[in-house]
Amino acid sequence: MEAPQRNLAMDLVRVTEAAALASARWLGKGAKNEGDGAAVDAMRLSFNSLDIDGRIVIGEGEKDKAPMLYNGERIGTGHGPAVDVAVDPVEGTNLLAYGRPNAIAVVGLAPAGAMFDPGPSYYMRKLVVPAPARGVVDMDAPVAHNLEATARALGKKVEDLMIFVLDKPRHKELIARIREAGARIQLHTDGDVAGALMAVDPASSVDMMLGTGGTPEGVLAACAIKALGGEILARFDPQSEEELARVRDFGLDTSAVLTTDTLIRDDNVFFAATGISGGTFLGGVTYLGTGATTHSLVLRGKTGTIRRITSTHQWDKLMRFSAIKY
């Protein structure tokens, strides 16, 4: 038996709440860079108060040309546990810009050295299933086989399954195969971290996520997948010859199948996500004039605890000391 230990996810949710509160001011205004910038600023300021010795492994990255929360940046006070950190201040910047559902602010954390560094890889093909279907799917099996195996593990028929797929031209054949097998599909324009979360969340109607999405997003989602006991199988899927060359020069094997345990090599993982625009997965930020309400998902891998937190923020008290102008 162990005495209760500090749950870092409870600190992380303050970070995701700050990002959500700041970025939601830009909801539907068609300005994704401004919304993302507000979230980055708020998230970075919030990290300053955390007693961790953190290193960003999955950050805004080269593709975003971000001045902060970039890959390799040190965050936290420098006191406390050494940790790898994955962030996405706004997962779904287009969703935020156009006022569409399921934009979220996300942070994952694992012990130092436990988080996979994907280097210059932008895209990977992913298969995500919930805990009951762990170990029954195969990255190289036909789509119909994986649907049938997942349905059996969940005690369902294939026709009952709901599959999350990004609505991209590259998925035309995948979508056709899923429909031929008889499963149902939710098509989303963006947000494959949210899609992976839906696939492993026991409270979600989504049973699986399939298709090619962001590599950094895959590692970030793996924090939550690990905490919830689900499974992600992935393989690098460069979308250009230039990306392929960079991935190979970095020393990554494009034929290898990456697993949950490859992406996050320790069970002591923490994860927090706060809804920005709202949707079927997490409620969004609601401004009340005198404050705001947020809705968050908080996970701790070691205990498997799932917390769903609704927070009310009061401007008259918060703004007395907050460095973030909500």
Of 28 and 6, more confident: 28
pLDDT confidence band for 1 (50 / 70 / 90): low
CATH of the domain at 158: 3.40.190.90
CATH of the domain at 310: 3.30.540.10
State residue 95's pLDDT score. Answer: 96
50-64, 97-111, 137-151, 262-276: least confidently modelled range:
50-64
Annotated binding site: 36, 60, 88, 91-93, 123, 168-170, 190-192, 214, 217
First-last CA distance in the chain? 43
State residue 191's pLDDT score. Answer: 93
Annotated binding site for substrate: 91-93, 123, 168-170, 190-192, 214
Give the Cβ contact number of residue 249 at 10 Å.
10
Tell me which residue range forms the domain holding 164: 123-263
Mean pLDDT of 295-311: 95
pLDDT tens for residues 12-46?
A: 999 999 999 999 999 999 999 999 999 999 999 99
Residue with tokens 């090599």: 265
Same domain, 194 and 138: yes
Same domain, 201 and 308: no
- Single pTM value for the model: 0.94
Same domain, 182 and 199: yes
State residue 66's pLDDT score. Answer: 58
Residue 277, pLDDT > 70, answer yes
Domain membership flag for residue 107: yes
State residue 165's pLDDT score. Answer: 98
Domain membership flag for residue 1: no
Work out how many domains the chain is built from and give that number: 2
Enumerate the β-bridge partners of residue 91. Answer: 104
pLDDT confidence band for 320 (50 / 70 / 90): confident
Domain membership flag for residue 117: no
Enumerate the β-bridge partners of residue 41. Answer: none
- Kindly report the backbone phi and psi dihedral angles of residue 99, in degrees, each rounded to the nearest multiple of 5, phi listed first: 70, 30
Annotated binding site for Mn(2+): 36, 60, 88, 91, 217
Percent of all residues in the chain with a pLDDT value above 70, rounded to a whole number: 96
Domain membership flag for residue 197: yes
